Structure 1
Amino acid sequence: MANRLKPLPHAAWQAQQARIVLAAARRFDWRRMSPAEQVEHLFSVHGPLPVVDAHFGENSVLSEFYRHCAHDKTWQQRDQCAALLRGLAAKRSTLLWRAELAPALAAVAAFWRHRCRELADWQPRSRNPFRQLESLVRHLFDKYGDVPAWILNSWTSGRLHDGGVNIADLTVCLGRGAALRTFRGLPVKLTRKVEHHLRQAPAGYTFLQALRYAQLAARELPAEWLGPVLDSRLGRRLEPDDEFWLRVVEFFAASPMVDPYQLGPVCDWIHRKRSVGIGDEPPQPGFSLKGRSMPSLLAQTAQWHRQLAKQEHRKPDAEPALSATWEPMAVQNFAGGSKCKVRITQLLSYWELIDEGRALRHCVASYLDACRRGRSGIFSLTFDGSRALTLEVQANRTVVQARGLLNRRLNEEELSWVQRWAADNRLVIPKHLFG
């Protein structure tokens, strides 16, 4: 008798409630409702996420909207989201119900009080939901029509927190007519000249790509240097001493007859020298290019790669670092080819990174920390078991590097297989990688 009266644990109670709601959901189809009724039904539901998921159905679009527009929201925030979705339902907008756009609509509602026009005055001119979202954001927040296209593109591509910048906040700031360089959420200070070029960056760029585009243009460097810069560590992160790395680019651009794509390996060598040290020497945080020549930089970088390639063979358990492993990135491996078997496999241990770097004579082993922290995933492309290419995928599911033997660029055959693998996993391949 005492056991029957004992209260259920909270987790067990949630599971019980989910089963009850799921049984009722089997007799209920929200898709038969009108769009307005669907919105009202969405905001009439309350409870923990397992119960809500069971109510709307597994992998339901409404469940995704509930997560972003209703769950853990204050009553005021819920009302703002509900008002926005009611307005879109009244206009029969195709923005309802697209699960991938739920975070963007939640961000629109969060900045609702900053709108410069009313939703009632907005008329969608396209059935494409992504174009509708761009149109809606420009209508509500862009008072003067001069918010850069790459910022609006960040809304549709799901990059609302791009490079440490809150894109929604930036949109509202620029929409009021403020100068871009006065926005407090920028990770770097901008000059007037850099701001001018940043506003003109191509539409498909991320914040970091647009910033590099503007920085090179402000320094009057040739446009062909943008690809090598984005292909290097400068295209993957903003460094605290960003100005130093831009001077490295200028040093390269001023050197005649140098392959621009040697910038990436040299930057890796400089970073290693400044932060960790090469061989037995201590790190040199004050490393400078003063008094150095381009041939000496290339020679020392090549020597470092040879040292990595000739690294002494040791058992994986001989040293704690060598036995390091990490959780895989959520990207599937790939298998294809008929006459020649093609495999793209994720590397999940430091020992595998060392083997990869030794075979292709590059510095992929230096990405140990990035892999362990989940910032990057390293993949190896092989043809009939022979290593051909090393790929880096960042946490935002973008393929940022593809390097073969001695850091060579990928060829057309390799690119076609990488594109197939990227399409299967919905990965982004920047244009500069095609170079």
Structure 2
Amino acid sequence: MATKGKRRRRGAQARANADLGAHIASLGLSSMAEYQAWCRKHGLPGAANKGWQERRDERRLADLDTVASDADDRLKAHIAQLGLASVDAYQHWCAENGLSAGLNKSAAQRKREAQVAERLRADAALLSTRRMTSKPNHTLRRIYEGEFTDDDMPTPLLAKIHDGFRQTDGCPGARDALYAVLRQVEKRSDLLSLEPVVPRFGDEPGNTYIDAMVALALRHADWAREVTDWRPDSHNSRRQFGSLSRHLLALYDVPAFMDTAWFQGRAPDAILRQDWFHGTGTGTNIRKVDGLPIELTKKMAHLLMQAPRTFTVDQALRWTQVVGMGGSEALADSVMATRLGASFDEEEFWVSVVKFLVYNPMLDPGYAEPIVEYIHQQKYAPEQVVGEDGEVTYGDPPHPGFSMRTRKVDALIAAVHEWRGEREREQRVGAQSWDGSGIDPYEEDDADEYGGTRWTIRELTTMKTLQIEGKAMRHCVATYARSCRGGGQSVWSVQAQNDEGVTRRVMTIAVKNTSRMVTQARGKANAHPLGGHRSAWHRTRLREGYKVMRRWAAQVGITVPKHI
């Protein structure tokens, strides 16, 4: 009997210890020492043997601590949101703005304070903007002298000017030159703007008057006249800039289209075209400037100087080339609108295409664009290749040796028509898509004799992906497109990715959406998941893929019949 009594006492003690441990954990503490320290902090006895009423009171006290801590965290976050550093600063700010300096506030009161802070910030920014824009010369001087940082700039225009001065670093004298240009421009013109200047360049970097003035300042060593002597002779901003650039850099006439050289940033090609502007403006024959991408005859040089002012430099060169060879202006406009109007890459070949177009005067100029695109695709565009595993790679162009020699116009036009037809069919196919079934995809990581494998099961929801799957797996799954579009079926691709990142298609699954049942599951060349396969690797992978399919089906609630 004595032994039985001892067992009862030990059992009661264990339950008491367990209850104490649970109680300590409920207070957010992890040990008896922490519990006793917590009790001392709150003026409570640290004894372990307490009644349920005492423990209940302790839990209530801990809840109050949690609430107070959360409230303190929310107060700190609110103070930080207002842009203040401490509670004292917060109370001082509240008093200054006619708000209660108390700390225990409702959500509505704090929302009101956030609105007041936002209004004060907006008022300060507006005041700063007015001060800086009402005295532009004073502001320009302060930016020039380096008084501001990027964060001090209240408007995009001033930020752009600030950045422009930074671009002059490393070029002695350029900062002074830019300051002089900006002061004169602000006084005499409407060129302090961020609007894109050359429509052809759109929002490309460099296409603003500020960028162009930076480019002029970086060439200050070439200036022929003082910028302070410049006076615009037009109210048109493009003409004003043309006048400014010629005042600084030209002693002779420069065609208006060359102004576009200043709106292409500081890339090597842009600097080269700016060199042509300066060379022409100082008397160098345009045929003799360095780096021209095409060969100009005397006739072409004369035509170039008369090219329309709306052209870019590259457009003017291409237009001149076509007209100078004897082509019509209509053909020149069509060629200029192709990729050849913006690039002289591979010019040794492309000039033969230009000659072909010129030497076939009865060819509709409208064919210039499709002919150029067709030839580019055949000779230079990497060909998309779908491998047996379905992976898309890019190989050599279809016909890298494409040549215009002995090329007949009728045969070329026929090839262009065929190519365009194929593209249109591909675009129609690519545009065919449908909503997903709503069944979840699947991923899992596995390891086997081949190493680590990431398995994925993804739904195919476009005609293009069905075609790629069918080509890679050598079956006719693309015929499911109509059923998928109607929502009756869905098609899924089971793929395995190895440790080296190589992904292979293993199996294709067809699911009847209404009954959520697998209707087909086949590997390459319609191989059954549990059947034979000539390749041991494919046989093993296919069976593993079958197991993955069953785990996916169990997870998403799909039935896999026994015969699958």
| TM-score using structure 1 length | 0.58
**Greater RCO, 1 or 2 (C-alpha within 8 Å, sep 6+):** 1
Distance 1:163 1:214, change over 3 A: farther
What SS does structure 1 have at the residue aligned with 2:188? coil
- Is 1:94 matched up with 2:189? yes
Rounded to whole Å, the distance in 2 between the matches of 1:128 and 1:232 is 30
Question: Identity of counterpart residues, as a percentage?
Answer: 28
Matched-pair contact (CA < 8 Å) for 1:197–1:213: no
In the alignment, which of 135, 141, 144 is matched to residue 40 of structure 1? 141
Write the letter of the residue equivalent to 1:285.
Answer: P
Rounded to whole Å, the distance in 1 between the matches of 2:218 and 2:156 is 23
Report Cα offsets for 1:307-340 as digits up to 9, x if no partner: 33444774437659x9xxxxxxxxxxxxxxxxxx
In the alignment, which of 99, 104, 107 is matched to residue 212 of structure 2? 104
Q: 2:412 aligns to what?
A: 297
Which ranges in structure 2 are unaligned for 5 or more consecutive residues? 1-82, 85-117, 195-207, 386-395, 431-462, 472-564
Write the letter of the residue equivalent to 2:403.
Answer: S
Rounded to whole Å, the distance in 2 between the matches of 1:307 and 1:127 is 52
Distance 1:73 1:211, change over 3 A: same
Distance 1:32 1:288, change over 3 A: closer
Distance 1:233 1:109, change over 3 A: closer
Distance 1:139 1:256, change over 3 A: closer
Q: 1:63 aligns to what?
A: 159
What SS does structure 1 have at the residue aligned with 2:139? helix
110-119 vs 257-266, which deviates more? 257-266
In the alignment, which of 312, 316, 324 is matched to residue 465 of structure 2? 316
Write the letter of the residue equivalent to 1:250.
Answer: K
Deviation at 1:253, TM superposition (A): 3.5
What SS does structure 1 have at the residue aligned with 2:326? coil
Q: 2:230 aligns to what?
A: 122
Rounded to whole Å, the distance in 1 between the matches of 2:242 and 2:402 is 45
Q: 1:385 aligns to what?
A: none
Write the letter of the residue equivalent to 1:134.
Answer: G
Matched-pair contact (CA < 8 Å) for 2:325–2:358: no
Rounded to whole Å, the distance in 1 between the matches of 2:232 and 2:361 is 52
Q: 1:284 aligns to what?
A: 399
* RMSD across aligned positions (CA): 3.7
Matched-pair contact (CA < 8 Å) for 1:165–1:186: no
Q: 1:217 aligns to what?
A: 323
215-224 vs 201-210, which deviates more? 215-224
Distance 1:93 1:277, change over 3 A: closer
Q: 2:244 aligns to what?
A: 136
Rounded to whole Å, the distance in 1 between the matches of 2:359 and 2:183 is 58
Q: 1:177 aligns to what?
A: 283
What SS does structure 1 have at the residue aligned with 2:402? coil
Deviation at 1:209, TM superposition (A): 1.0
Report Cα offsets for 1:225-281 as digits up to 9, x if no partner: 1122123332242231x2432332332343364322122222222222223589999
Distance 1:87 1:278, change over 3 A: closer
Rounded to whole Å, the distance in 2 between the matches of 1:112 and 1:223 is 38
Rounded to whole Å, the distance in 2 between the matches of 1:217 and 1:186 is 17
Deviation at 1:295, TM superposition (A): 1.2
Deviation at 1:203, TM superposition (A): 0.7
Q: 1:254 aligns to what?
A: 359
111-120 vs 249-258, which deviates more? 249-258
Distance 1:78 1:221, change over 3 A: same
What SS does structure 1 have at the residue aligned with 2:421? helix
Distance 1:125 1:279, change over 3 A: closer
Deviation at 1:140, TM superposition (A): 1.3
What SS does structure 1 have at the residue aligned with 2:233? coil
Rounded to whole Å, the distance in 1 between the matches of 2:227 and 2:417 is 59
Deviation at 1:160, TM superposition (A): 5.0
What SS does structure 2 have at the residue aligned with 1:168? helix
Write the letter of the residue equivalent to 1:246.
Answer: V
Deviation at 1:72, TM superposition (A): 6.7
Deviation at 1:189, TM superposition (A): 4.7
Deviation at 1:291, TM superposition (A): 2.8
Report Cα offsets for 1:54-80 as digits up to 9, x if no partner: x231x3422211111246724743222
Q: 1:83 aligns to what?
A: 180
Rounded to whole Å, the distance in 2 between the matches of 1:142 and 1:87 is 18
Deviation at 1:292, TM superposition (A): 3.0
Distance 1:45 1:26, change over 3 A: farther
Rounded to whole Å, the distance in 2 between the matches of 1:200 and 1:292 is 33
Rounded to whole Å, the distance in 2 between the matches of 1:252 and 1:127 is 41
Deviation at 1:96, TM superposition (A): 5.9
Matched-pair contact (CA < 8 Å) for 2:296–2:321: no
| TM-score using structure 2 length | 0.46
Report Cα offsets for 1:31-65 as digits up to 9, x if no partner: 4654432321222344652x2xxx231x3422211
Distance 1:61 1:191, change over 3 A: same
What is the number of equivalent residue pairs in this alignment?
Answer: 295
What SS does structure 1 have at the residue aligned with 2:216? helix
Write the letter of the residue equivalent to 1:65.
Answer: I
Rounded to whole Å, the distance in 1 between the matches of 2:191 and 2:358 is 49
Deviation at 1:185, TM superposition (A): 4.4
Rounded to whole Å, the distance in 2 between the matches of 1:32 and 1:206 is 34
Deviation at 1:143, TM superposition (A): 0.9
Rounded to whole Å, the distance in 2 between the matches of 1:308 and 1:35 is 55
- Is 1:238 matched up with 2:344? yes
Write the letter of the residue equivalent to 1:151.
Answer: M
Matched-pair contact (CA < 8 Å) for 2:180–2:227: no
Matched-pair contact (CA < 8 Å) for 1:165–1:185: no
Which ranges in structure 1 are unaligned for 5 or more consecutive residues? 1-14, 323-435
Matched-pair contact (CA < 8 Å) for 1:163–1:208: no
Matched-pair contact (CA < 8 Å) for 1:212–1:235: yes
Q: 2:16 aligns to what?
A: none
Rounded to whole Å, the distance in 2 between the matches of 1:170 and 1:182 is 10
Distance 1:316 1:306, change over 3 A: same
